[in-house]
Amino acid sequence: MTTLTFRGAARTVTGSRHLLELPDGRRILMDCGLFQGSSEYLHLNSHFGFAPHSINALLLTHAHIDHCGLIPRLCREGFAGPIFCTPATRELTRLMLYDAAHIQEEDIRHINKLRLKQGVGAAEPLYTSGDVTRCLKQFQTVPFGEKFEPLPGVECLFTVAGHILGSAVINLIFQDSKGQPIRLCYTGDLGRYNDPIMLAPGQPMPADYVICESTYGDRLHDEDADTASELLSEIEYTCLTKKGVLVIPAFSVGRTQGLLYHLNSLYNKGKLPSVDIFVDSPLAREATQVVRRFPELYNERLRKELEKDADLFGFPGLFFVETHEESQKLNERKHPFVVIAGSGMADAGRVKHHIMHRIDDRKNTILITGYAEPETLAGRLKSGAKEVRIFGNEFPVRCEVHTLRSMSAHGDAHDLLRFLTAFEPKKLRRLFLVHGNYESQLYFADLCRAKGYTSVDIPSLGAVRSLE
């Protein structure tokens, strides 16, 4: 029997891990992500639901932590096989995993201080920087469009997903128990066809089974929204009119580079006001360096722009903040400025400090730039909370909270359906929807059925499906 088991991102958006078992018992794991957004996920993050040593190979779609964030733990618990991804994904994953390990090591120090007071034993982090260093030795990179065998007799091809730098769609061909070929496509996270930076999603291979993300399966992005002008008016309003501070929580990988690209375009057009802009995230600085190293993964329009401007992510007045001391100094700064800092959902990282210091003054603005889980700090601010809890203290929300309309690294319902046109409805045996809230998935399933994809399946966590 050939089976698929959904061990994460099933009727939810984080913790992507999908397990393919071949008739001879060999196992391929696709993605190994961290569940995020709730402390209830601790159990799911420390228990895989399968034996890590039983996995023969891991295929990684992209560097976001909800897709790669548990790889060091998987390896620490006995997975010794190869990990395949694109070269850019490896570079970004290295940064992401060291950052995640660092955050966990810091968190556990705080937690253990409390536990010591309560007289309970010390807790362990999910993994350490040492575990990251060890797991990186198992990585093997394969560029887009080059076929390879993750295991003997299994063919794989990475095609462009267009979501973040290096992000891939996994196309697999293997044999069922009767020796017949099965073709499987797993989208990972899909980008937009008109992303300002990324290549559009590429043409996948034909498939019998598709595992498709569905984050925005019930939404259409506002195509008329112009991110650069929205950003400009936020800066002018907060920094020039109100003379305040504009705090922008943003993911260090992907979103921050998107923001820098738009700010750089404004600068090139002579529109950017002379207000200092700080990126307060060493991770974002390093990720921006990685993005600069892979211009071949930009879309054509951007590559043309590169001929006129050698640095599309840098301009005078932009400063990258390195140390904690420099970061803290920003809290005392009186005159207007813009600060971009991680994390995007403001549930961790330096942005929490910036929000805490600016939240009680109406002349400041917090600008949310993307999806935020409802329980996170950004999520609560976005939903209009009058008071929020930061580092154990309640703060009244006196500053303004705005949301950018147009930035998303995920395709909307049109983009997802456009991607699916690569598969003939009659030939597709099953379309599995993952990586979405259940309500959005139900809505998107109806859209798929209307296009002729009759066997849509929304597996729950732990669901096992036969592919024969």
- Interaction site with Zn ion (CB under 5 A): 64, 189
Nearest distance from C-beta of residue 140 to Zn ion, angstroms: 21
Nearest distance from C-beta of residue 268 to Zn ion, angstroms: 29
Tokens of residue 158, six digits: 């990475």
**Vertex 180, ends 174 and 184: CA angle to 5°?**
40
Nearest distance from C-beta of residue 67 to Zn ion, angstroms: 6
Nearest distance from C-beta of residue 434 to Zn ion, angstroms: 12
How far apart CA 11 and CA 281 sit, in angstroms, is: 32
Cα→Cα distances 157→88, 314, 421, Å:
16, 34, 19
Closest CA to 416 of 223, 194, 215: 215
**For residues 447 and 413, is the Cβ–Cβ distance under 8 A?**
yes
Tokens of residue 154, six digits: 């299994």
- Of 61 and 265, nearer to Zn ion (C-beta) is 61
- Of 150 and 188, nearer to Zn ion (C-beta) is 188
- Of 189 and 347, nearer to Zn ion (C-beta) is 189
Nearest distance from C-beta of residue 204 to Zn ion, angstroms: 17
- Of 16 and 45, nearer to Zn ion (C-beta) is 16
- Of 99 and 189, nearer to Zn ion (C-beta) is 189
- Of 238 and 288, nearer to Zn ion (C-beta) is 288
How far apart CA 341 and CA 278 sit, in angstroms, is: 8
Nearest distance from C-beta of residue 62 to Zn ion, angstroms: 6
Longest dimension (CA), the chain: 72
**For residues 397 and 198, is the Cβ–Cβ distance under 8 A?**
no
- Of 26 and 64, nearer to Zn ion (C-beta) is 64
Cα→Cα distances 286→304, 433, 468, Å:
24, 33, 45
- Of 2 and 408, nearer to Zn ion (C-beta) is 408
Nearest distance from C-beta of residue 164 to Zn ion, angstroms: 6
Name the β-bridge partners of 20. 4, 28
- Of 5 and 89, nearer to Zn ion (C-beta) is 89
Q: What is the residue type of 105? A: E
Cα 151 → chain centroid = 27
CB-based closest residue to Zn ion: 64
Cα→Cα distances 112→76, 80, 118, 348, 352, Å:
22, 31, 10, 18, 21
Nearest distance from C-beta of residue 265 to Zn ion, angstroms: 24
Nearest distance from C-beta of residue 409 to Zn ion, angstroms: 7
Q: What is the residue type of 318? A: L
Nearest distance from C-beta of residue 196 to Zn ion, angstroms: 17
Tell me if residue 130 falls in helix, strand or coil.
Answer: helix
Q: With b meaning 16 or more CB within 10 Å and e meaning fewer, what string describes 321-355? A: beeeeebeebeeeeebbbbbbbbbbbbbbbbbbbb
- Of 189 and 373, nearer to Zn ion (C-beta) is 189
**For residues 364 and 337, is the Cβ–Cβ distance under 8 A?**
no
How far apart CA 334 and CA 230 sit, in angstroms, is: 25
